Amino acid sequence: MTYVYTDQQDVVRVVMGGPRGLTGPGFTTVFKSKPLDGLMTTNPQADDPDLQWPVEANSVYVLDLHLILGVANENVDFECSVNVPVGTTGFWSSQGVTIGATSNTPTKMHGGTAFGASNNFGTDETNASFVQIYALVRVGATPGVVVLSWSQATAQATPVTLKADSFGVLTKVA
């Protein structure tokens, strides 16, 4: 069964397998329907108000995120982390534009990053820059929320924007 609804922040959510993906196997897709910008700080990172997924205790999930970045100055870089409930194990990996790149061509990958640790990426002021994140999330005894947190990699006067149509899919696999 498929459920499509718009939540209180006008974020489109598509859920298969049960309401909000919490009843049995299924997946929850979250699309950003409007951009979030104005982040000009590096510490602390801010939890994205849209890219969040509730998770059940003693369950295993796979997270697949596709982020679209926008900047007015290519010197503004992007930093992010994946945060999970206490007692959750697993890892996340990511790929995106290399810091200091002047186009989207040079890319870098981060593999096996611990939850809560950050990775950073470059941006391209002419074109949208993309970051892809994949995570294996093994939730322990404490349920909670998986959330993308992000900020600028280095403080700049020009904000970095996480653009509309960025999205993520959380799939419950066990």
| Residue 84 parent element (H or E) | none
At 65 the pLDDT is 94
Burial code (b: 16+ CB inside 10 Å, e: under 16) for 18-47 equals eeebbeeebbbbbbbeeebeebeebeebee
User: Three-state SS for 132?
Assistant: strand
**What is the dotted CATH code of the domain comprising 35-172?**
2.60.120
* Spatial distance between the Cα atoms of 31 and 138, rounded to a whole number of angstroms: 23
Sorted by where each begins, the domain ranges of the chain are: 35-172
At 36 the pLDDT is 62
pTM over 0.85: no
Q: Output the CA–CA distances (angstroms, integers) from residue 48 to 35, 148, 173, in the order listed.
A: 11, 6, 24
pLDDT in tens, the chain (174 residues): 344 444 444 444 444 444 443 444 566 778 777 766 555 556 678 888 889 999 999 999 999 999 988 776 667 788 899 999 999 999 999 998 877 666 666 677 788 889 999 888 887 767 778 899 999 999 999 999 999 998 888 777 777 788 888 889 999 988
